Amino acid sequence: MMLSKKSAKVFFFGGTIVTFAMFLVMSFMTLTNEVPKRTHEENLSAEVIAGKKIWEENNCMGCHTIMGEGGYYAPELTKVYDRRGEGFIKAVLQSPVPWQPRGRKMVAYNMNDTDAANMIAFLKWVGEMDLNGFPPEPDYKSTKNNKK
């Protein structure tokens, strides 16, 4: 069924107005207290900011995802601080040789203590954001419990 010229204009302009209204509401919500409250902006320290710069300079998003954005070659790092802990992250970042978990090769950054601490602070801050349950908790079901 084809729309008449008049119906097509009404449909187009109506859709444009509704979409623009949604854009304004979402922009308002972003600029109000909602985003700083969810991201814990008050915890942004010089170390977290330095860690973010290191993240960008080394193009970590080329391989890793964070908050669902980035490459899918390497693991998702939004909650890596909770999953692996500070010691593990520091060991990986300071490794002098390329690290190869499950056949994927991680660059040997051989970071100094300060840079590694800054990256850890950044990853910890990201992990503390309220992302409405993202990433979801894995459902680890034992195969022993499923056998009958």
Please give the pLDDT value at position 132. 74
For 39-59, how does the pLDDT look when each residue is reduced to its tens digit (9 = 90+)? Answer: 788 888 999 999 999 999 999
- pLDDT on residue 93: 95
**Second CATH level (architecture) for the domain 35-127:** Orthogonal Bundle (1.10)
Q: What is the pLDDT of residue 1?
A: 67
State the Cα–Cα distance between residues 41 and 73, nearest whole angstrom.
29
**Residue 138: predicted pLDDT:** 67
DSSP the chain: -PPPHHHHHHHHHHHHHHHHHHHHHHHHHHHTTHHHHHHTGGG--HHHHHHHHHHHHTTGGGT-EETTEE-SSS-B-TTHHHHH-HHHHHHHHT-SS-B-GGGPPBP-----HHHHHHHHHHHHHHHTS--TTPSPPP----HHHH--
What's the pLDDT at 32? 73
Per-residue confidence (pLDDT) for residue 103, from 0 to 100: 75
Confidence at residue 104, expressed as pLDDT on a 0 to 100 scale: 79
- Which residue positions in the chain have pLDDT lower than 70? 1, 33-35, 138-140, 142-148
